[in-house]
Structure 1
Amino acid sequence: MTLTAALLAVLATGACRSLSTRAPIAPLSFADTDSVATSVVAPGVTHVQVIDGRGPWSIHVLEVEADRCTPLLEARKPGSDLHARATTSAIGGDALAAINADFFILPRGTPVGAHVTNGVVLTGPTDRPIVGVVDPTVSPGAPWQTGTGRMRGHARVRDDSAAITQVNRPATPTSAYRGTTDGLTLYTARIGDAVPADSAARRVVLTMIDGDEAAGRAVVVSADSPAVATGMSAGTGVFLAHGSARDWARRRSPGDTVAWRADVVVVPTEWSSAAPGEGRGAQTAAMAAPVREAVGGFPELLRDGRPVLDQQRVVPAFGVNRHPRTAIG
């Protein structure tokens, strides 16, 4: 099996305090199954394997004592572009544990949901839930958050700015993302060979100076309408502007230096508005801590202890049908 991403729980040396070890909680939930085996992966980290012939099911649970351990959670992806794939064991490498994460779009392998690594947005969010890891020094509490991902960022030429509403994600008929109607979409060489044509947009082609998707600078090469696809190579960037951002793009001239910053934040799913940048979710996004790591978290199973699966549209092949699945909570 090939996978595009792995959400990895990495426990560095000394990540767990020397407290008395308690019995793992997970086995108590499987008392009526055929067998339950536990093994200590590291102090404060337990692997539980459950066999239940009624499925039949083989269930693996990685339990981390949150009051004792501070796991370093990373969202890793192989290769230098969005389409690269590798096995979970290959991506895991030096990790204490690796859990495969998110669906990907065939045939190439682009993540269906958002993917953020070390604060860099490799590809932006859709309206489906994500799992985001925040810096505990910035936002104390649980090391991860679930909810709707929202882009937050701006591109600026001197005092002239426009909002960045997406990164490295074109609209496609096979994904949950139908495209933005307002704002800038930033594309880098990570997107692959080309950025698709978009007759509704205004295009600004860039030569990178420094930085990445999180923060960078580039020089404007041209500004026009993208009637055809834009070829991409190392050191090339593109802004596609929609709605009010088209005026910002029209004001761009060759030689302009553009600087930008962009990150992803998590807002509660029930607060997310239909249009990014509006409503209570937008107010929350403006104040939220950016995620350091993120992967897609669809479908959502429980919210505040209540089942919410029936509130989402899940294709049977990716939901109720038998297939290996992973979850975090």
Structure 2
Amino acid sequence: MGAYLGAMHASRLALAHPAPRAVAAGTAILVAAACAPRATTGSAPLPPLRLAATADSATSTTVAPGVVHHRLWFARGPQAVHVLDVDRAACWTLAARKAGGAAVGRAGTLALVRGLADSGGVAVAGGVNADFFLFAPPGVPQGAHVQDGRVIAGPSARPALALDSAGAPWMGMLRTTGSVALPDTTLALDGWNRGSAAGVGVFDAAWGARTDSLPGRVFVAARPLASGGAVVTAVDSGAHAAIPADGIVLAAGARSPARARLAALQAGRDTVRVTHSLGPVSPRQAVGGLPVLLRGGAIDPQVDSAGNAGFRGPNPRTAVGVGANGRRLFLVTVDGRQAGYSLGTTLRETAELLRLLGATDGINLDGGGSTTVVVREAAGGFRIANQPSDSAGERLVANALVVTRGGCTSR
């Protein structure tokens, strides 16, 4: 980034960062849970934000003890950067919030943050927009969305940011594993609230009232039996199927070898037994993104190959970084497409920005007109702190990451 990688700053900033260790591409990033204790109160304060010293303009506001909102502006670029600097040791964590409470649905980031705050019983400091999403059907996340342990949208071929019950962050590829036991055979299950053209997936009521509509699928609806398993209630090959509120729908894709076997099941007679889980971790919260930007302090090579040239080029950005051995979370937005104020950053520049902030691991979230950061005001209430580039102002998005109180034990 021209603003903070210019010749006058580059040598000084480089000294602040040790040489990154190599990490194999495609590996998961376990940034806290395996080796760090559960966050507790009473920890030493985190060091100041190093990058602020190189900005042409920088202000910092304490939103709550343990959450600081930094506003940085770099004349070279130009770039306007907002950072929600979150200390997990002060009992703050991240919560995923889905618009509409189901796979389909869009809402503003401000509304999603306010909604969690208005639900009562939890302190909220702010948040950012999260995953990329479909416009038709509106608001379906392109990656995983897990909310309070409930899988609303399952994993896809995209990485995810996940948090466990203690709020410890993890980045990598989530996957669905499981099986479908039929009367005479057992099938592998490779999708949970996510369609699969070549495999078998399961949809439950967390997805919504109806499955998505991948052409050529066979749908099998089933309701649970008191004795275990589930009885088949309907077999259909239409565009989509209704999901029983107390049951499931199995979906075999048009290229799935199991398609004919599911189509042969008889409603009211045959039973199925389904087991499924997420791996390699069991997230309490998760949102998808693309691509991973940092792994163990090294910029991931995907920053130069993900998507097309326009996607990789200068754009408004939203990203999450993790530093201080999992203790420090950086929710970062960069405004863009606004000449004279902020042009945005490339994927590589976004990765470098996270690294200069002090992150060792990071992931890119939805950007462009979706980029929005919300902060709590001193007098109460919430406001949009950045300048979204969408022509309508704040864009309606699929989901948000909300900074909330939790995942901490007191001494």
Same fold (TM over 0.5): yes
Partner of 2:79: 57
1:154 maps to: 179
**Structure-1 residue corresponding to 2:194:** 169
Distance 2:139 2:252 in 1: 26
Tell me the number of residue pairs that the alignment of Structure 1 and Structure 2 aligns. Answer: 268
Q: Contact conserved, 1:119 with 1:263, CA < 8 A, in 2?
A: no
Cα deviation, residue 263, structure 1: 3.0
Per-residue CA shift, 1:265-314, capped at 9, x if unaligned?
2xxxxxxxxxxxxxxxxxxxxxx331121111211111122112345322
**1:241 pairs with 2:252:** yes
RMSD: 3.1
- Over the matched positions of the two proteins, sequence identity in percent amounts to 29
- The alpha-carbon deviation at position 180 of structure 1 amounts to 4.5
Query: What is the one-letter code of the residue matched to 1:249?
Result: L
Superposed counterparts of 1:83-232, under 5 Å: 83-93=104-114, 94=117, 95-107=124-136, 108-136=138-166, 143-156=168-181, 161-170=186-195, 179-182=196-199, 184-188=200-204, 190-191=207-208, 193=210, 195-196=212-213, 198-199=215-216, 201-207=217-223, 218-223=230-235, 226=237, 228-232=238-242
Paired with 1:314 and 1:89, the residues of 2 have a C-alpha distance of 28
- SS at 1:328 equivalent: strand
CA drift at 1:327? 2.6
Shift of 1:31: 2.0
Cα distance, 1:322–1:289 mapped onto 2, change above 3 Å = closer
**In the superposition, relative to structure 1, how do residues 161 and 92 fare at CA in structure 2: closer, same or farther (>3 Å)?**
farther
How does 1:19-34 map onto structure 2 within 5 Å? 19-24=43-48, 26=49, 28-34=50-56
Aligned partner of 2:305 in structure 1 is 312
Per-residue CA distance 1:2-24 (angstroms, 9 max, x = gap): xxxxxxxxxxxxx8613453443
Aligned to 1:8: none
What is the TM-score normalised by the length of structure 2?
Answer: 0.57
Instruction: For 2:191 and 2:84, locate their aligned partners in 1 and report how far apart those are by CA, in whole Å.
Output: 33
Counterpart of 2:42? 18
Q: Which whole-Å CA distance do the structure 1 matches of 2:315 and 2:202 have between them?
A: 37
Unaligned runs of 5+ in 1: 1-14, 137-141, 171-178, 211-215, 266-287
| TM-score for both structures, normalised by structure 1 | 0.69
Q: Which has the larger radius of gyration?
A: 2
Structure 1 pair 134–38 and aligned structure 2 pair: CA distance change class (3 A): same
Name the residue aligned to 1:260: 274
Deviations 1:208-265 (A, max 9, x none): 779xxxxx975311346x2x32342663642123545447636743234545343322
Q: What is the CA deviation profile of residues 131-180 of structure 1, one whole-angstrom value per residue up to 9, with x for unaligned ones? A: 111234xxxxx81111112112334468964332112333xxxxxxxx34
Higher relative contact order (CA 8 A, sep 6+): 2
Give distance in 2, aligned partners of 1:81 and 1:217. 25
Partner Cα separation in structure 2 for residue 197 and residue 325 of structure 1: 30
Confirm or deny: 8 A CA contact 1:16 1:44 kept in the other structure.
no
SS at match of 1:64: strand
Return the alpha-carbon distance in structure 1 between the equivalents of residues 224 and 82 of structure 2: 45
Residue in structure 2 matching 1:297, options 270, 289, 293: 289
Q: Any unmatched runs of 5+ in structure 2?
A: 1-38, 118-123, 323-411
Counterpart code for 2:242: M
Query: 2:185 and 2:149 mapped to 1: Cα distance?
Result: 25
* Native 8 Å contact 1:134 1:143 kept in 2: yes
Deviations 1:29-88 (A, max 9, x none): 23221112112222222221111122222211122234x334332111021432211111
Q: In structure 1, how many angstroms separate the alpha carbons of the residues matched to 2:129 and 2:40?
A: 24
Q: Which residue of 2 aligns with 1:7?
A: none
> What is the identity, as a one-letter code, of the residue corresponding to 1:73?
L
SS of alignment partner, residue 318 of structure 1: helix
1:197 & 1:34 partners in 2: Cα distance? 50
Residue 82 of structure 1 aligns to a residue whose secondary structure is: coil
